[in-house]
C-alpha cells in the first residue's frame, strides 16, 4: 500500500509568467489596492498553513514523492520548480523546501496534454465539453504517473488545482487522503472540497 496526500492549491500570479503584471493591474483597477493586499495576505496565510500542516505529519521525507500541477515529465523538473520559486511562487518554494529535506520531485503531467490545454484555451472552438475531456485526460495521466512512481510504503504529496479529480483514477493500492489546514488570520479551510474562505 502507498499513501497519497492531496493538497488542493490556489494558483498565484507568480505562476502566470508574463501575464502576471497585466492580471495584477486589472485586479487593482477593478477592486482596488486594499483588496489586492488582502488577497495577497490571504494567500500567504494559506501557504503558511499548508507548510505547517505538512510539517505536523512528521513524515520521513526520504520516502516522500512530490507531484505538482502543470509540472511536465521532461527531465528539467527541478529547474522549472526553482525558476517559479525564484519569482515568488509559494507553492514552488514549499516544493523546494521539501526537496531540501529529502523528498523526491517527480514529473507529473504529460507535456503533450499541457500543450493541448494551452492551445484549447486560445482557441475559438473551446467548449466546456472539450475542456472537461482534456482535464479528465490529464487526470488519468497524472494517476498513471503516480501509480508507476509511488512504491508501496512510500508517501506522495500531490499539489493539484481543486478542479482536478485525480483520486478517482488511482488504483486501490494507493490510499488518497486530503490535507486539512486552518489558518489563524482568515480561517480558510482546505480539504477535499477545495478552498473555502470564511
pLDDT band at 162 (very low <50, low <70, confident <90, very high): confident
95, 159 in Cβ contact below 8 A? Answer: yes
Stretch (H or E) spanning 7? strand 2-9
Residues 6+ apart with CB under 8 A from 178: 5, 6, 7, 8, 191, 192
Whole-model pTM?
0.83
Instruction: Indicate the SS3 state at residue 154.
Output: coil
5, 179 in Cβ contact below 8 A? Answer: yes
Q: Round to whole Å and give the CA distance between 89 and 86.
A: 7
> How do residues 50-105 score in pLDDT, each as one tens digit?
999 999 999 999 999 999 999 999 999 999 999 999 988 899 999 999 999 999 99
Write down the pLDDT at residue 28: 67
Instruction: Indicate the SS3 state at residue 67.
Output: strand
| Residue 186, pLDDT above cutoff 50 | no
Average pLDDT, the chain: 84
What are the domain boundaries of the chain?
A: 2-196
Min mean pLDDT across 16-30, 34-48, 124-138 is at 16-30
Within 10 angstroms of residue 105's Cβ, the number of other Cβ atoms is 18
32, 172 in Cβ contact below 8 A? Answer: no
Pairing mode, if any, of strands 64-68 and 174-178?
unpaired
Work out the average pLDDT over 132-151. Answer: 97
Q: Round to whole Å and give the CA distance between 42 and 10.
A: 11
Q: Round to whole Å and give the CA distance between 145 and 160.
A: 14
Amino acid at each position: 500500500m502507498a499513501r497519497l496526500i492531496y493538497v488542493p492549491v490556489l494558483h498565484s500570479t507568480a505562476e502566470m509568467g508574463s501575464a502576471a503584471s497585466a492580471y495584477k493591474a486589472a485586479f487593482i483597477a477593478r477592486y482596488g489596492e486594499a483588496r489586492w493586499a488582502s488577497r495577497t495576505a490571504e494567500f500567504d496565510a494559506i501557504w503558511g498553513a499548508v507548510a505547517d500542516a505538512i510539517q505536523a505529519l512528521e513524515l520521513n521525507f526520504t520516502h516522500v514523492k512530490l507531484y505538482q500541477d502543470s509540472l511536465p515529465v521532461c527531465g528539467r523538473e527541478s529547474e522549472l520548480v526553482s525558476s517559479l520559486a525564484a519569482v515568488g511562487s509559494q507553492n514552488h518554494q514549499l516544493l523546494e523546501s521539501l526537496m531540501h529535506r529529502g523528498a523526491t520531485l517527480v514529473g507529473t503531467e504529460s507535456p503533450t496534454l499541457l500543450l493541448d490545454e494551452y492551445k484549447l484555451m486560445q482557441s475559438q472552438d473551446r467548449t466546456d465539453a472539450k475542456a472537461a475531456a482534456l482535464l479528465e485526460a490529464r487526470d488519468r495521466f497524472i494517476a498513471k504517473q503516480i501509480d508507476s512512481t509511488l512504491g508501496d510504503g512510500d508517501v506522495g504529496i500531490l499539489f493539484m488545482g481543486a478542479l482536478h479529480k485525480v483520486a478517482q483514477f488511482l488504483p486501490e493500492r494507493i490510499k488518497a487522503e486530503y490535507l486539512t489546514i486552518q489558518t489563524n488570520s482568515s480561517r480558510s479551510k482546505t480539504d477535499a472540497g477545495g478552498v473555502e474562505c470564511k
